[in-house]
Structure 1
Amino acid sequence: MRFDLTDLRLFEAVAQAGSISGGAERMHMALASASARISGMEAVLGTALLVRARRGVAPTAAGRTLLHHARAILAQAEQMRGALRAFATGLKGEIRMLSNTAGLVELVPNALRSFLAANPGVDIDLEERTSLEIVESVAAGQAEFGVIAATADLASLELRPLGIDRLTAITAATSALALRQDISFAELLDEPFVGLTAGALHDHLARNAARLGRHIAYRVRLRNFDAVARLVEAGIGVGVLPLAAVARHGSPGLAALRLTDDWADRRLVVCARTFEALPVHARLFVDALVNAGSAAPALMRPGG
């Protein structure tokens, strides 16, 4: 049985894309070549690796087993390359990472700025996902590490703390609520809401409303923090955002109130299957994220 790394990367790409054509595109490979490689792998093994249907493909039991081992082998190969590159002049490589929106607002840009300036040979493949999606992707080996809110089910991943992401109630500066310093979530639920369409924060708020036997009366739902802040500032309703996002918006037309509920403080962490197994350049960027967390003005240190 002889599969090269290109075979394994192609099979992983096909499984992720749900089609051979999609996998071929991700690998910048002709469809005929990709199809021939997959068929050749199946011929060598003497069993089907994919269930082919009109709407795409899915791994068989044998395919899922191959995918599991392929990801482990590819991760080890990347680790080897990263370690060997460390002996050359300057680090070279690519980091595959994911981050939730809260991490992208404050932590990741500051860490990227200093890290990329010091390591011009390293590229970052960064994608925004919800915390739950990040945990699943990192656990499956589809990303090396991710920045998440620790409210997600962390499976067996290793964690390093980054800080406390404080959730804050926001309202228009012209509203009666703007005269207050703090408010409970139960009181805030009496107001019309502006919020996000989906994601970890949306789910976090929904769960805590349900614990109170309430639901959130959304007037408008949007895709990003800045849009939520602008509509709250316009008097459309109230909202809940990370303090970092409120500080970044920085408008005198927006008033921030401290949420008195214990769950308003969310732990931001960076997660990986194992930090020790990360390539050298990836471990260095994790260190940069931890340092950015300690320096971020809108984050509190754990226990602080």
Structure 2
Amino acid sequence: MSGFTLKQLEYLVAAVQTGSLTGAASLCHISHAGISNGLNELERSLGTQLLVRRKAKGVVPTAAGRAMLPLARSILRDVAGIEGLGQSGQGELTGELTVGCTLALSPVLIPLIASAFAELHPNVDLVFREGNSRAVLQMVRDGQVDAGLVFQRHLSGDLEYLTVCPIRVKVALPPTHPLATRLSISLAELAAEPAITPDGSALESMLAVMREAGVEPNVQWTFASPETIRAMVARGFGYSLLYVFPEVSASGSSVVSVPVNDRISDDALVMALPARRRQIDKVDKLAEILRGDAVRKLIG
């Protein structure tokens, strides 16, 4: 068995995270020489080079280093979980919980999660990472997060998941729109109007929903930020399909959400999890919080 240590794995993760040995030394509260020696010993014990050190340009992982990284992160998280067993056995959760969340969901879910843990489990250190669905799912695969919050439509077969709650597609409209007071809308009624869409995998998902209803949207604007989309809709520049609807955008303008009555495939908010994951009590508590009434009122 290789004679590497947990500290050496911590140094590897820190070096890749910061992109330099200097940054890793600062993050791990150790000298530059200590980081360098620890990584050299790790490479010797494994018999392979994990990092390419470039003078004045930091470090980058080799292929072996990239393969090692999710394993190292998983080991460190498991050890942190073991260290917290004493306190968690008394009903108190401790340690770090890292959650990935899509940009479409993060403005609503992240504050809700942070508030719930602050009240119920204040000794858990929450870390949030945002990105589009592809990025969040890759974070799950790479072991950068303990759970990723995404839409079921975006899942791939290599990941396990827990369903949080079903999602009903809604149309975002300005309050002055003629259809804003309707109880439901057929997407065909909006076919000729300008559509404001997200980009990336979220755009693909929206197009799939529209086409499933027999509608080819008239896409006029595409933005990465859901908040920008809401603000543009609120100003009357078009409509959009969004799953999470704060009634007031950051610009101070309001939007109205109206359910879609077309027959389209079901979707859901899910927690994507690494394949063959170990049981993590903090992840279970996260699922419990997300399955509460507060999330259903915002998304369901």
Q: Which moved more, 1:271-280 or 1:136-145?
A: 271-280
Q: Say which SS state the counterpart of residue 70 (structure 1) adopts.
A: helix
Cα separation, 1, equivalents of 2:280 and 2:86: 9
1:182-261 maps to which residues of 2 (within 5 A)? Answer: 182-196=184-198, 198=199, 200-208=201-209, 214=216, 216-219=218-221, 221=223, 223-225=225-227, 227-242=228-243, 244-247=244-247, 254-261=255-262
Contact 1:10 1:27 in 2 (8 A): yes
Contact 2:197 2:219 in 1 (8 A): no
Question: How much identity, in percent, do the aligned residues show?
Answer: 25
Contact 2:160 2:273 in 1 (8 A): yes
* Distance verdict in 2 for CA 1:19–1:184, change over 3 Å: farther
- The structure 2 residue matched to 1:116, chosen from 95, 114, 118, is 118
Q: Which moved more, 1:270-279 or 1:41-50?
A: 270-279
Cα separation, 1, equivalents of 2:71 and 2:221: 48
* Distance verdict in 2 for CA 1:253–1:276, change over 3 Å: closer
What do residues 200-235 of structure 1 show as CA deviations (whole Å, max 9, x unaligned)? Answer: 43342245567769465224636233x322322222
Cα separation, 2, equivalents of 1:203 and 1:23: 38
Cα separation, 2, equivalents of 1:30 and 1:203: 47
Identify the residue that residue 49 of structure 1 maps to in structure 2.
50
Deviation at 1:289, TM superposition (A): 2.0
* Distance verdict in 2 for CA 1:288–1:195, change over 3 Å: same
Identify the residue that residue 82 of structure 1 maps to in structure 2.
84
Identify the residue that residue 297 of structure 1 maps to in structure 2.
297
* Distance verdict in 2 for CA 1:116–1:274, change over 3 Å: farther
Deviation at 1:4, TM superposition (A): 1.9
Deviation at 1:144, TM superposition (A): 1.0
Identify the residue that residue 131 of structure 1 maps to in structure 2.
133
Contact 1:159 1:269 in 2 (8 A): yes
Cα separation, 2, equivalents of 1:66 and 1:275: 17
Q: Say which SS state the counterpart of residue 242 (structure 2) adopts.
A: strand
* Distance verdict in 2 for CA 1:35–1:105, change over 3 Å: same
Structure 1 residue runs without a partner (length 5+): none
Deviation at 1:11, TM superposition (A): 1.0
Q: What TM-score do the two structures reach when normalised by structure 1?
A: 0.78
Q: Say which SS state the counterpart of residue 155 (structure 2) adopts.
A: coil
What do residues 50-94 of structure 1 show as CA deviations (whole Å, max 9, x unaligned)? Answer: 234575544334334433542342232123123233245733222
Q: What TM-score do the two structures reach when normalised by structure 2?
A: 0.79
Structure number with higher relative contact order (C-alpha < 8 Å, ≥ 6 residues apart): 1
Q: Say which SS state the counterpart of residue 134 (structure 1) adopts.
A: helix
What do residues 237-271 of structure 1 show as CA deviations (whole Å, max 9, x unaligned)? Answer: 222222x3154659996443333444475310122
1:111-190 maps to which residues of 2 (within 5 A)? Answer: 111-178=113-180, 180-190=182-192
* Distance verdict in 2 for CA 1:114–1:44, change over 3 Å: closer
- Does 2:268 match 1:267? yes
Contact 2:101 2:130 in 1 (8 A): yes
Q: Say which SS state the counterpart of residue 277 (structure 1) adopts.
A: coil
- Does 2:35 match 1:34? yes
* Distance verdict in 2 for CA 1:209–1:89, change over 3 Å: closer
Contact 1:161 1:267 in 2 (8 A): yes
Contact 1:172 1:178 in 2 (8 A): yes
Structure 2 residue runs without a partner (length 5+): none
Deviation at 1:175, TM superposition (A): 3.2
Cα separation, 2, equivalents of 1:43 and 1:130: 38
User: Which amino acid letter does the alignment assign opposite residue 132 of structure 1?
Assistant: R
